[in-house]
């Protein structure tokens, strides 16, 4: 017996310690709820107090009603004898009706509260996701944390408050029920409490195991979502059908979900068995107590009304205690999962603004300089750049050529401060970009990324996203379209600039090259001193490329422009061409100078024009 008790304490102690460790999350969660739905929460609290009083009133009226019925039965059918039972019956009905009305009203209030809190937390998650560095998006750990914050913890604060409220309501009612039982026998409230102790241990153990399983299986949960995504989106349709991969991904999804479901069912089965044993222990104590009260009633120690009142108080008390334990379990569970939310909200970017930022002149006069840059991506062991240096004079157009993986696109990410280099510095007009506010730096730069976003909105809005202020003027939209050689695309669309694009909301679909020119228009809308173009003509046919190049030089005149391209026909229009190899520049010059040099550029040119 002693050994069993010692083992019980050993099992419970870690669970209790874990529960205490979660308590700091409680005030923070309540603050979230207050910020999102303060007035609704106050209304809900008032209804909660009313709901806690009504069950006690029902129990007390029950005693009076039963005793008055017994008295009326002895008095016959005289009006004076049945008046009190009828009046008490009306009171009882009114109390029951009030209970239903307050329950319905509280449900409505809780729904409004939950919606407000959920939306507030979504906004916080979006705000934090927009604040973290790009490096966070390179790690699976970040996506695990985001997944748990977005799907597991999003509704937890509202659920926590509801569980706290239900616990408080049940607690107030339990105190009153305990007082009623104490008036009959001092040990009845104690028996009531002891009958729920086994269930408390079962609930805490089950919650800890469920939370541990959720954390452990997060990546598998995300992987199952990925398998589902691969079978059901437009982006994946072509290759999935071409290579007949649908069955493969469906089989992978089914196998993974079967395993996850089996693990959850194993948890549920062991939890159900423990709950049954705990319930039997509680029912044994309940049955013994009810037999004791029944014997007292048979011996005339208490009246039938008292027996009904005590029995109802005991039954409701045990039900409320079990409900309170469930709510304690839910509170503990919500606090555990809120730890996931707060873990995500506490992520801090490593790239920050300086305390005393400098101002960047406009237009820039000297240009952009990369000095001895070395950089390795957080998830890689292979450097993307090593001892890289480059000067881009103000107002010039520079082209960067090189094999994939040579580090060309990395330069753009470093210049935009999506990452900071491991060593070296980047300057604009002699100012270290780390001494600038990130927003100010990026306002001076217009960018076309290698894989630009295809916004599912109108043509005008697609372009206006490049500069929301400039995008309000339709003339700016037209000029941006012309600079990108995209005017002919718009002329073919049924509603011109107001045509909805993309498949999400029934818009017109464009070719890859047309989407690229829309993205170019978005970049050219911004009146920026620095223009960065990553493969601007990669998806264009020869005619579209020629159309764009004819307008390109005019649009970037006076701007500092860096073009990444594999197309030498595009690169030859630059003032200076740099060839990257092995993460550094190996050749530099004009088109003619590089041909005369007879190096990599010249070999690539001969290959492209068919002169081998």
- 336-386 confidence digits (pLDDT tens): 667 778 888 888 888 899 999 999 888 888 999 999 999 999 888 888 888
The residue among 571, 580, 483 whose CA lies nearest residue 527 is: 483
Does 207 score more than 60 pLDDT? yes
- Cβ atoms of residues 560 and 396 within 8 Å: yes
Share of the chain above pLDDT 90, in %: 13
Residue with more model confidence, 381 or 19: 381
User: In sequence order, which residues have a C-beta less than 8 Å from that of residue 224 and are 6 or more positions away?
Assistant: 253, 256, 257, 260
Q: Angle, nearest 10°, between helix axes 218-232 and 234-242?
A: 80
- Per-residue confidence (pLDDT) for residue 432, from 0 to 100: 95
The encoded tokens of residue 73 equal 């039965």
* Region class of 38: left (phi > 0), else alpha (psi between -120 and 50), else beta: alpha
- Lowest mean pLDDT of 53-57, 353-357, 556-560, name the range: 53-57
Residue 85 banded pLDDT, cuts 50, 70, 90:
confident
Q: What is the pLDDT of residue 152?
A: 62
Which domains can be identified in the chain, with CATH numbers?
Answer: 2-345 (1.20.1560.10), 367-609 (3.40.50.300)
Distance CA 155, CA 164 (A): 14
Q: Is the pLDDT of residue 554 over 60?
A: yes
Query: For residue 357, what are its two tokens?
Result: 């930022």
pLDDT tens-digit series, residues 574-606: 889 999 887 788 899 999 898 988 888 888 888
CA dist 119 and 158 (Å) reads: 11
Which two tokens mark 298? 């048979």
Provide the token pair at 194: 């002891």
- Distance CA(123)–CA(142), nearest Å, equals 18
Phi and psi at 77, nearest 5°, equal -105, 20
Q: What is the DSSP letter of 150?
A: I
CA atoms of 236 and 223, how far apart (whole Å): 16
Query: What local confidence, expressed as pLDDT, does residue 5 receive?
Result: 45
Question: What is the DSSP secondary-structure string of 42-93?
Answer: HHHHHHHHHHHHHHHHHHHHHHHHHHHHHHHHHHTT-HHHHHHHHHHHHHHH
Looking at every residue in the chain, the average pLDDT score rounds to 79
Strand partners, 169: none
User: How large a percentage of the chain has pLDDT more than 70?
Assistant: 74
| Confidence (pLDDT) at 562 | 92
- Per-residue confidence (pLDDT) for residue 424, from 0 to 100: 94
pLDDT in tens, 249-298: 888 888 998 888 888 888 777 767 666 666 666 666 666 666 766 776 67
Across the range 109-122, mean pLDDT stands at 82
Q: What pLDDT, on the 0 to 100 scale, is given for residue 440?
A: 92
Range among 7-21, 112-126, 295-309 rated most confident: 112-126
Distance CA 513, CA 537 (A): 8
What gap in Å lies between CA 372 and CA 426, rounded to an integer? Answer: 9
29, 341 contact by CB (below 8 A): no
pLDDT band at 33 (very low <50, low <70, confident <90, very high): confident
Residue of 578 and 143 predicted with greater confidence: 578
Q: Report whether pLDDT(420) > 90.
A: yes
Short-list 417, 408, 365, CA closest to 390: 408
Whether 542 shows a pLDDT value over 80: the answer reads no
Q: Which of 20-34, 160-174, 562-576 shows the lowest mean pLDDT across its residues? A: 160-174
The yes-or-no verdict on residue 244 having pLDDT over 70 is yes
Choose the weakest-confidence range: 233-242, 395-404, 564-573.
Answer: 233-242
Q: What is the DSSP string of 243-306?
A: TT-HHHHHHHHHHHHHHHHHHHHHHHHHHHHHHHHHHHHHHHHHHHHHHHHHHHHHTTSS-HHH
Identify the top-confidence range among 33-47, 147-161, 170-184, 433-447.
433-447
Please tell me the least confidently modeled range out of 7-21, 328-342, 460-474: 7-21
Confidence of residue 1 (pLDDT cuts 50, 70, 90): very low
| Contact between residue 50 and residue 172 where contact means Cβ atoms under 8 Å apart | no
Annotate 384-412 with DSSP letters as a single string. SEEEEEEEEETT-EEEEEE-TTSSHHHHH
Of residues 310 and 135, more confidence is placed in 135
Token pair listed for 180 = 């009623």
Q: Rounded to an integer, what is the distance from CA 597 to the centroid of its chain?
A: 54
Q: Name the residue with higher pLDDT: 571 or 238.
A: 571
Q: Establish how many alpha carbons lie within 13 A of residue 165's alpha carbon, considering only the half-sphere containing its beta carbon.
A: 25
């Amino acid at each position: 017996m002693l050994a069993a008790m010692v083992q019980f304490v050993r099992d419970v102690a870690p669970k209790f310690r874990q529960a205490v460790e979660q308590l700091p999350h409680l005030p923070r969660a309540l603050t979230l709820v207050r910020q999102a739905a303060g007035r609704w929460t106050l209304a809900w609290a008032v209804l909660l107090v009313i709901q806690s009083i009504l069950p006690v009133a029902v129990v007390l009226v029950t005693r009076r009603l039963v005793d008055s019925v017994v008295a009326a039965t002895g008095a016959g059918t005289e009006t004076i004898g049945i008046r009190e039972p009828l009046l008490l019956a009306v009171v009882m009905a009114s109390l029951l009706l009030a209970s239903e009305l307050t329950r319905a009203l509280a449900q409505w209030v809780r729904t409004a509260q939950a919606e407000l809190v959920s939306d507030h937390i979504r906004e916080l998650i979006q705000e934090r996701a927009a604040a973290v560095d790009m490096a966070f998006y390179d790690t699976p750990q970040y996506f695990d944390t985001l997944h748990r914050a977005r799907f597991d913890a999003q509704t937890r604060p509202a659920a926590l408050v509801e569980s706290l409220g239900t616990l408080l309501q049940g607690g107030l009612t339990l105190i009153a029920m305990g007082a009623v039982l104490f008036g009959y026998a001092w040990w009845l409230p104690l028996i009531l409490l002891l009958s729920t102790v086994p269930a408390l241990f079962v609930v805490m153990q089950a919650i800890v195991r469920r939370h541990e399983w959720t954390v452990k299986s997060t990546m598998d949960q995300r992987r199952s979502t990925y398998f589902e995504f691969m079978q059901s989106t437009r982006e994946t349709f072509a290759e999935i059908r071409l290579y007949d991969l649908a069955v493969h991904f469906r089989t992978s999804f089914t196998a993974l979900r079967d395993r996850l479901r089996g693990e959850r069912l194993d948890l549920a089965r062991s939890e159900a068995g423990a709950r049954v044993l705990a319930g039997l222990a509680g029912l044994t104590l309940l049955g013994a107590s009810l037999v004791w009260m029944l014997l007292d009633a048979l011996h005339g120690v208490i009246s039938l009304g008292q027996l009904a009142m005590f029995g109802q108080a005991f039954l409701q008390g045990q039900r409320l205690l079990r409900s309170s334990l469930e709510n304690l379990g839910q509170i503990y569970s919500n606090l555990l999962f809120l730890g996931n939310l707060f873990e995500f909200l506490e992520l801090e970017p490593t790239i920050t603004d300086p305390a005393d930022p400098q101002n960047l002149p406009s237009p820039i006069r000297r240009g952009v300089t990369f000095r001895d840059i070395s950089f390795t991506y957080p998830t890689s062991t292979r450097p993307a750049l090593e001892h890289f240096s480059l000067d881009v004079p103000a107002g010039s157009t520079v082209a960067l050529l090189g094999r994939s993986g040579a580090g060309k696109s990395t330069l753009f990410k470093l210049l935009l401060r999506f990452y900071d280099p491991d060593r070296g510095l980047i300057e604009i007009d002699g100012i270290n970009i780390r001494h600038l506010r990130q927003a100010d730096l990026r306002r001076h730069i217009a960018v076309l990324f290698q894989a630009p976003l295809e916004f599912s909105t109108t043509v005008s809005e697609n372009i206006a996203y490049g500069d929301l202020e400039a995008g309000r003027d339709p003339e700016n939209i037209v000029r941006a379209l012309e600079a990108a050689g995209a005017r002919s695309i718009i002329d073919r669309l049924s509603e011109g600039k107001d045509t909805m694009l993309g498949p999400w909301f029934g818009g017109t679909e464009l070719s890859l090259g047309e989407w690229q020119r829309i993205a170019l228009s978005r970049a050219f809308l911004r009146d920026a001193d620095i223009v960065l173009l990553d493969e601007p003509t990669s998806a264009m046919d020869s005619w579209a490329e020629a159309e764009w190049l004819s307008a390109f030089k005019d649009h970037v005149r006076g701007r500092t422009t860096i073009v990444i391209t594999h197309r030498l026909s595009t690169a030859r229009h630059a003032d200076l061409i740099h060839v990257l190899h092995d993460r550094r520049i190996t050749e530099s010059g004009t088109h003619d100078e590089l041909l005369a040099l007879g190096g990599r550029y010249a070999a690539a040119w001969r290959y492209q024009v068919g002169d081998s």
